[in-house]
């Protein structure tokens, strides 16, 4: 695997290729990220990963400074997963001056759910993803469904800007006990880690009720929130939405159950297609 840090080196490394298949990441990689690399590999003529902890998508009280930077381990894992080229820019390379132009995603997509609790998050994500897709000349890009709303917002951005990039969503990788793999799982204490699969279990209960024909979505969401609180979580939301656009859930549509909740000081998100 070749590693490049600058834009000229990236352009030179990409020169022989016509169809980069790109996996953008913020590093601190786990098996979920490596799945994305393995999925991307046959979808292009070169598999490119990026590692960049994007300040723009972190709120002032969030974990930008403490976000784990594990570059050497990440490189070893990417190499083993078959990645061809890693682009790992510094902030000065990707943001040589303050980023004045920013993508402003529409509020109905980006100010709900995660966006309600993380103002500016999707603008920061879209802005860096647009830059990374441009720099890497991506023709395919793979994102995880664990960040379902992020995947959907990026799909809409790529569509509305007519970017020549195919966006591929990859299923969430879970630990044997159901916990969705996440870079932030590393923040959990041993006791919290043992408790963390409850988040997935609550979504499964919700999905089971919907599949069984219960269409009182409001009550189901409230019950799930109450269950999490009883178990010691502080939920931001448990929501049933349409899969296609995250609009309000209606019977007869493919639905998605989404949640974000804090366990101690760690905020986790998860979702389940129904």
Q: Catalytic residue numbers?
A: 33
CB of 42 to ligand PAF, least distance (A): 21
Q: Is the Cβ–Cβ distance between 114 and 269 less than 8 Å?
A: yes
CB of 168 to ligand PAF, least distance (A): 13
Does residue number 179 form part of the binding site for ligand PAF (CB under 6 A)? no
CB of 133 to ligand PAF, least distance (A): 10
Q: Which of 125, 142, 170, 228 binds ligand PAF (CB under 6 A)?
A: 125
Q: Which of 54, 198, 221, 259 binds ligand PAF (CB under 6 A)?
A: 54
CB of 216 to ligand PAF, least distance (A): 33
Q: Which of 128, 255, 258, 274 binds ligand PAF (CB under 6 A)?
A: 128
Size of the site for ligand PAF (CB under 6 A): 10
- Which residues within the stretch 25-44 sit at the binding site for ligand PAF (CB under 6 A)? 25-26
Closer to ligand PAF by Cβ: residue 148 or 233: 148
Q: Is the Cβ–Cβ distance between 225 and 261 less than 8 Å?
A: no
Closer to ligand PAF by Cβ: residue 121 or 217: 121
Distance of CA 143 to the CA centre of its chain: 7
CB of 220 to ligand PAF, least distance (A): 28
Does residue number 129 form part of the binding site for ligand PAF (CB under 6 A)? yes
- Which residues within the stretch 133-152 sit at the binding site for ligand PAF (CB under 6 A)? 147, 150
Closer to ligand PAF by Cβ: residue 170 or 228: 170
> For binding to ligand PAF (CB under 6 A), which residues are involved?
24-26, 54, 57, 125, 128-129, 147, 150
């Amino acid at each position: 695997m070749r590693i490049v840090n600058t834009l000229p080196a990236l352009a030179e490394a990409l020169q022989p290729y016509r169809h980069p298949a790109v996996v953008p990441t913020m590093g601190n990689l786990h098996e979920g990220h490596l799945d994305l690399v393995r999925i991307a590999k046959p979808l292009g003529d070169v598999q490119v990963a990026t590692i960049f902890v994007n300040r723009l998508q972190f709120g002032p009280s969030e974990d930008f400074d403490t976000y784990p930077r594990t570059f050497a381990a990440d490189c070893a894992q990417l190499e083993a997963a078959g990645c061809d080229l890693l682009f790992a820019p510094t902030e000065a390379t990707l943001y040589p001056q303050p980023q004045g132009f920013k993508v402003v995603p529409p509020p109905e997509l980006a100010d709900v759910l995660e966006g309600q609790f993380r103002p500016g998050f999707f603008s920061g994500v879209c802005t860096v993803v647009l830059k990374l897709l441009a720099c890497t000349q991506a023709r395919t890009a793979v994102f995880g469904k664990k960040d379902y709303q992020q995947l959907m917002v990026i799909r809409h951005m790529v569509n509305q800007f007519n970017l020549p990039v195919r966006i591929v969503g990859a299923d969430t990788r879970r630990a044997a006990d159901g916990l969705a793999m996440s870079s932030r799982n590393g923040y959990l204490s041993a006791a919290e880690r043992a408790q963390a699969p409850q988040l997935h279990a609550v979504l499964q209960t919700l999905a089971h009720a919907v599949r069984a024909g219960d269409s009182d979505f409001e009550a189901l969401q409230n019950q799930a929130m109450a269950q999490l609180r009883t178990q010691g979580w502080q939920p931001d939301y448990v929501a049933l939405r349409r899969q296609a656009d995250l609009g309000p859930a209606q019977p007869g549509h493919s639905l998605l159950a989404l949640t974000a909740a804090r366990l101690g000081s760690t905020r986790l998100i998860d979702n389940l297609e129904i």
